[in-house]
Amino acid sequence: MKKVYASPDLLSAGHVRNLLEQNGIASQLRNYYLGGGIGDLPVNECWPEIWVDDSDVARAEQVVRELQEALAEPPGPPWICPACGERNEGQFGECWHCGATRPASVGTP
Ligand SMILES: [Zn+2]
């Protein structure tokens, strides 16, 4: 067995497992039960981990890589709030200052 993925986010780990399953790759989720130990153990030793059989490692790593590339899409450019003039980073859909929604014409490629 080999670890192909680890994340502090159990939802992400579950998503990876589902993707692997869709690709016909059996996997094990480890450390699921260690979540309560965070604070006592080094944090990344508590992360949920996905393990697969040695024969599936190459395919599993490809699935994980494609997922991470999809998640790594760069955020849009910073935008200026039309309501209050505040500058907001591209990943935010609302103005952090006044809560106005980002205009559709800004930050969409
Ligand atoms: Zn604003």
Domain count, the chain: 2
Residues in the chain: 109
Q: Same domain for 11 and 44? A: yes
CATH number at residue 20: 3.30.70.1530
User: How far does residue 105's CA lie from ligand 1's centre (Å)?
Assistant: 16
What local confidence, expressed as pLDDT, does residue 26 receive? 97
| Contacts for 53 with CB less than 8 Å, ≥ 6 apart | 1, 26
User: How far does residue 82's CA lie from ligand 1's centre (Å)?
Assistant: 7
Cα angle 14, 8, 29; round to 5: 40
Q: Same domain for 18 and 67? A: yes
pLDDT in tens, 72-106: 777 778 999 999 999 998 888 899 999 999 887 65
**Structure tokens, 83:** 């309501």
User: How far does residue 94's CA lie from ligand 1's centre (Å)?
Assistant: 8
User: How far does residue 80's CA lie from ligand 1's centre (Å)?
Assistant: 8
What local confidence, expressed as pLDDT, does residue 31 receive? 84
**Residue 29 to residue 58: CA distance in whole angstroms:** 18
Q: Same domain for 24 and 58? A: yes
> Tokens 């399953």 belong to which residue?
21
| Contacts for 20 with CB less than 8 Å, ≥ 6 apart | 26, 27, 50, 52, 56, 60, 63
Q: Same domain for 16 and 52? A: yes
pLDDT in tens, 35-73: 555 556 665 667 889 999 999 999 999 999 988 887 777
Q: Same domain for 22 and 66? A: yes
User: How far does residue 89's CA lie from ligand 1's centre (Å)?
Assistant: 12
Q: Is the pLDDT of residue 107 over 50?
A: no
Note whether 4 and 60 are within 8 A (CB): yes
Q: Same domain for 8 and 22? A: yes
What local confidence, expressed as pLDDT, does residue 7 receive? 87
Structural domain that includes position 36: 2-71
